[in-house]
A = this chain, B = another copy of it.
Amino acid sequence: MSTLGFIEYESASPEVRAVYDDIRTTRKTDYINNFWKALAHDPATLRRTWESLKQIMAPGALDPLTKEMLYIAVSVTNQCGYCIASHTVSAQQKGMSDAMFSELMAVVGMANETNKLVTGYQVEIDERFRK
């Protein structure tokens, strides 16, 4: 299941329960992902990670769906199966259509290709792109 196993709500410490409660309230669901139940062995990291994620993924200059798609782009590039599976569902719930998903994939594939072409050809950065 996970290196240290999962901590369920019923057997969680008050500190962990408080995070679980906040996840449930924020996400409007009773479901707690395996990720959080695995992290709960380290309450400090659980809290820090959840607080950071909540803050970062909230609406801001970018909308939550765009943020989910950026998350997927990173997760695919890193070949993280869990992250792709969970954030794809999450993006779909926030309104990602099949057409949007397909375009997202096409961009991610293309970017990975040109990243390597430019590096392999040892292309120097254009003067106008330098800081």
Given the known A-B contacts A115-B83, A122-B2, are A74 and B77 also in contact in the complex, defined by CB atoms under 8 Å? yes
A128 neighbours in B (Cβ, 8 Å): 31, 89
From B33, B71, B84, give the contact of A122 (CB < 8 A). B84
Shortest Cβ distance from A59 into B: residue: B103
A78 neighbours in B (Cβ, 8 Å): 77, 79, 112, 115-116
Q: Is the interface of A mostly helix, strand, loop or mixed?
A: helix
| Contact between chains at A106 and B42 (CB < 8 Å) | yes
Counting every copy of the chain, the complex holds 6
Shortest Cβ distance from A5 into B: residue: B131
| Contact between chains at B122 and A34 (CB < 8 Å) | no
From B2, B41, B110, give the contact of A52 (CB < 8 A). B110
Residues 93-131 of A, flagged 1 when their CB comes within 8 A of B and 0 if not, give 000011111111111111111111111111111101111
| Contact between chains at A79 and B129 (CB < 8 Å) | no
Pairs A–B under 8 Å by Cβ, sample size 13: A2-B124, A35-B123, A41-B102, A56-B110, A62-B69, A71-B111, A81-B119, A82-B123, A85-B125, A85-B126, A109-B114, A109-B117, A112-B113
